[in-house]
Every structure is written in structure tokens, then in C-alpha cells.
Structure 1
Amino acid sequence: MFAPPSTRTGDTAAHPAGVALVKRRHVDLMRVCSDACRDAR
């Protein structure tokens, strides 16, 4: 994907954005799973 930042400051600066992105993707995944479970019943 992309190279990890060489400095710790860059790492901490990029961290919150990455966490937010992962959380949003996780919420989307859970919504899809719950929809699939509802359809399967």
C-alpha cells in the first residue's frame, strides 16, 4: 500500500486518520453482515 513513515512524529500524525478510517470500514462491514443475517432468516 504505502511505506511506513520514517519518523515517529509522522506516525502519530497519521494515526488518528487511520483509526477513523478503520472504524468507519468496520461499521460498514457490521451493517452488511447484519443485513445478510436478516435476509437469511
Structure 2
Amino acid sequence: MYFFRKKDPNRPTNINIKIMHFINALAIAIFLAGIIYKLIQWLTK
């Protein structure tokens, strides 16, 4: 469960967390692209 909240100004921005979020988003994008590719392949055969 994700909770959306405002950025805490007291908390320092951690570069490792930023990298982790970027890799996570990239992985989700590649996963979705793969599913869409497979669906198109399956529908057009």
C-alpha cells in the first residue's frame, strides 16, 4: 500500500532512494512494454 504525502523538508534527499525509485520505475516500464509486445504478438498471429 502506497501512501502519498508531502516531501518532508527536514529529511535529507537520499541519492540511493532516488536511484532505487528510478530503477523500480524503469523495471515496471520494461515489464509493461513486454506484456504489450506479447499481447500484440498474440493478437496478430
TM-score by length of 1: 0.72
Q: 1:37 to 1:23 in 2, by over 3 A?
A: same
Q: Gaps spanning 5+ residues in structure 1: where? A: none
- Structure with higher helix content: 1
* Structure number with bigger Rg: 2
* Aligned CA-pair RMSD: 2.1
Structure 1 counterpart SS, 2:9: coil
Q: Gaps spanning 5+ residues in structure 2: where? A: none
- Residue 38 in structure 1 maps to residue 41 in structure 2: yes
Identity of aligned residues (%): 7
